[in-house]
Amino acid sequence: MAKEKQELPPFEYPQGYQLVAGVDEVGRGPLVGDVVTAAVILDPNNPIEGLNDSKKLSEKKRLALLPEIKQKALAWSVGRCSPEEIDQLNILQATMVAMQRAIDGLSVKPDLALIDGNRCPELPMDSQAVVKGDLRVAEISAASIIAKVVRDQEMEELDKLHPEFGFAKHKGYPTKAHFEAIEKHGVIEQHRKSFKPVKRALGIE
């Protein structure tokens, strides 16, 4: 029998912390719009069923979980960096700043922040990076759902202003349709000018 795909080891929460925040980002890859982050502190006495990496959930499921997360969490917050800030800082640094803003916006201060991925922003509390955290840590899953829904909705709003780009479909990611729209219509204010395909369209590469 074929060996089952190896499961990720369950995440072991560090001991001695009362309030744990999970942090995740959405929107590092797109050519347009903000990079959006969220921070969530869940209530251990009020569990939420069905949390998972937002990309693994259907849009319907994400939209159903969102109000439940907001209602049951001890605290949640959204942080972001604009296209201008991304162009000034670079996408990695902008993501770190957006994460700092999400943590800073929490009404309850955590004593530990668990960050999805392999690096942590500088924070005033202890932090730990968790690879594939959105699959292994409920707090990070909840943060990924909030960030994804917020950013997707912003792309749908942008789509209403600029229907010719198809943002509601590709959410600003570098798809063939998006490249073709840039070729045909140029770029808009919300495009990230430091990203190669946008630079090329602006003739500044």
Residue 128: CB atoms within 10 A of its CB come to 15
The answer to whether residue 4 scores a pLDDT higher than 70 is no
Question: Which tens digit of pLDDT belongs to each residue from 98-135?
Answer: 999 999 999 999 999 999 999 999 999 999 999 999 99
Question: What's the pLDDT score for residue 184?
Answer: 94
* The pLDDT value given to residue 52: 83
* Residue 205 belongs to a domain: no
* Domain assignment present for 203: no
pLDDT of residue 1: 44
Beta bridge partners of 80: 36
* 37 within domain boundaries: yes
**pLDDT for 6:** 56
Going by C-alpha positions, the residue among 90, 108, 124, 96 that lies closest to residue 23 is 96
Beta-carbon contacts of 106 under 8 Å, excluding residues fewer than 6 positions away, are: 21, 39, 41, 75, 76, 77
pLDDT per residue as tens digits for the range 154-175 = 999 999 999 999 999 999 999 9
Average pLDDT over the chain, rounded to an integer: 94
Helix pair angle (138-161, 59-72), 10° resolution: 120
pLDDT in tens, 59-85: 999 999 999 999 999 999 999 999 999
Q: For residue 194, is pLDDT > 50?
A: yes
Q: With respect to residue 129, please indicate whether it lies within any of the assigned structural domains.
A: yes
Q: Binding site: residue ranges? A: 24-25, 116
Predicted local confidence at residue 2, as pLDDT: 45
Q: How many domains are contained in the chain?
A: 1
Share of the chain above pLDDT 90, in %: 89
Which CATH number goes with the domain that contains 72?
A: 3.30.420.10
135 occurs within a structural domain: yes
Give me 141's structure tokens: 């899953």
Residue 181 in domain: no
Residue located via tokens 């009362």: 18
Close Cβ partners of 42 (under 8 Å, ≥ 6 residues apart): 20, 22, 48, 72, 73, 74, 138, 139, 142
The owner of tokens 């479909």 is 169
Q: Give the C-alpha separation, 28 to 50, whole Å.
A: 25
Which residue would you say has higher pLDDT here, 204 or 132?
132
**In a domain? residue 121:** yes
Q: Binding site for a divalent metal cation: which residues? A: 24-25, 116
Domain range enclosing 120: 20-157
- Domain-embedded: residue 198: no
